[in-house]
Structure 1
Amino acid sequence: MEGENENDLRLSALCKSLGHLWAESDVVEVSTEIPPTKMQECNLTLFGKLFSKPHVNFQAFTTVMKKAWKSESVVCLQKELGLFSFVFQSEEEKERVKKTGPWSFGSNLLVLRQCDPEVPEQCYDYTRCAFWIQMGGIPPGWFREEVVAGLAERVGRVVEIKMGNSGSGPQKAGKVRVEIDLNSPLKSGAILDIRKKKLWVEFKYERLPHYCYTCGRIRHYAIDCEEIPYE
């Protein structure tokens, strides 16, 4: 009980000292609307963060990304180590880059976020990213959008579903774009329960970057895994 009282006193003193860091006179009120030119610039801007290793050669990085995006006109700036902004010349070009991801540099995942004119640059969440997942093993009679969506929801938030033709071959298995938590292990599949008959449906992730087959997480390879040492 005595220790709790001491903590309360410390917290009270800290709050009191923080109260002197700013005053009412330090508040700047902005009542006008965001200028249309600035709004347009924000709409054409994506922020990107390298998920694994922030230390890269900026010149090499911009050269590779421009070539991968087929966009020499995009303006790239480095905000801090591993954090970048990309200003595109058109909405179509920006949306094409967003929809054809995920993108990587040297197997290092680049997580992209749409610029919000009302949100500071340091307040974006880069721990989630959308991946296309191919699903194999669904019987032809049950190859339906609601079944595919139900399986995909076991991985994360479903963004888009592309239904292929039922049949053999990876291009005919259908695929789903799912936003996943990058800090959690990837699921390699899920069980499809059909009238008490359980079938394994395999998940194949497209454009998978640094991935550890030991702990199941993106960011590193098995040889560098700290959770389950390689040796």
Structure 2
Amino acid sequence: MQSKLPSSLVGKLFGRRLPFHFLAAELHKRWGHYDGFKVLDAGKDCFICQFKNDADRDAIIRSGPWTVAGQILGLDVWSLDFNASSSVGTSTPIWVRLPELPLYCWGKENLARISSDIGAPLWLDPVTANMDKIAFARVCVRVNLVQPLKPGVWIDGPKGKFFQRVEYEGITVICFKCGVVGHRDTSCPLQGPTLPVNEFTIPSPAPSNDMMEINAVHTQPDPCENASKEPVGPWMLVTNRRKPQNLAGQQPKQVVGNKSKPATSLNSAR
């Protein structure tokens, strides 16, 4: 069975349903230059993308973010336990913003640690890396789309712990009850109370000499801190942003003025 689907990805659109023929045509526009590329309908709003070799497949899954008709595209490497009824197409790179992040939290190492509580850090926006604008820090992370998006992270600063909000770019459909992408409150399978802020832990490598060490902490929020009870909500989403699709295998770029600058990899910063 493994030989029947070599070098394949399974995928799913997290948003409104699109006709398969439309989806397949859009994917061929993006990835049809790869030899042997083929899209198969797997049912249950899932699809399989076949490639000629693992290198082409990996070039796709390591790049992105990918969208079709404004909907986030989740991808995962095909495996023997694939089931269209289960949650597939689970992860994707997403650009996130950290609004009003204190300046002592900036820098490649610090931002890698902070963003690792949101997902796997991938790239740092060059405007952020150069501190050309400081209204927010912008980082690309790979997130699991079947898990609730995290509204923010807890950080230890010089005056104590504070809650840093996170804003997500490119998300069009999300439930503000459970925090999961792909459905809305009215169709939430949980139908439970609004999801509170998550607490999590970040490893604490030694900071560089020109930065103050910061760490997100795993702790119960202080009841007197209103931010600790902040639920997921519309404020998590960045609206009206149009970002051009980058080609597979190419490093993402951020357009600054009339020049295009490559993003900074965060893989070596953790």
The two structures share one fold, judged by TM-score above 0.5: yes
Q: Structure 2: which 5+ residue stretches go unaligned?
A: 195-270
1:131 correspondence with 2:125: no
Match of 1:13 in 2: none
1:203 correspondence with 2:159: no
Does the Cα contact within 8 Å between 2:92 and 2:145 map onto a contact in 1? no
Which of the two has higher C-alpha Rg? 1
Deviations 1:23-55 (A, max 9, x none): xxxxxxxxxxx8xxx49x613x111134456x6
Q: CA RMSD in A?
A: 3.8
The CA deviation at 1:212 is 3.5
Q: Structure 1: which 5+ residue stretches go unaligned?
A: 1-33
Trace 1:204-223 onto structure 2 (pairs within 5 A).
Answer: 204-213=167-176, 216-221=179-184
In the superposition, relative to structure 1, how do residues 227 and 166 fare at CA in structure 2: closer, same or farther (>3 Å)? Answer: farther
Amino acid at match of 1:42: P
CA distance in structure 1 between the partners assigned to 2:22 and 2:116 by the alignment: 37
Match of 2:144 in 1: 180
Choose from 54, 58, 66 the match for 2:28.
66
Identity over aligned residues, as a percent? 18
Count of residues paired in the alignment: 186
CA distance in structure 2 between the partners assigned to 1:180 and 1:137 by the alignment: 25
1:192 correspondence with 2:155: yes
- TM-score norm. by structure 1 comes to 0.60
Trace 1:33-182 onto structure 2 (pairs within 5 A).
Answer: 38=3, 42-43=6-7, 45-51=8-14, 56-67=18-29, 69-71=30-32, 74-89=37-52, 91-116=54-79, 119-122=80-83, 126=88, 128-132=90-94, 133-156=96-119, 158-162=120-124, 164=126, 165-169=129-133, 173-180=137-144, 182=146
In the superposition, relative to structure 1, how do residues 122 and 182 fare at CA in structure 2: closer, same or farther (>3 Å)? Answer: closer
Question: Counterpart of 1:100 in 2: which secondary structure?
Answer: coil
The CA deviation at 1:174 is 4.1
- TM-score norm. by structure 2 comes to 0.53
Deviations 1:137-179 (A, max 9, x none): 33333323442233223334x2524364252538983414133
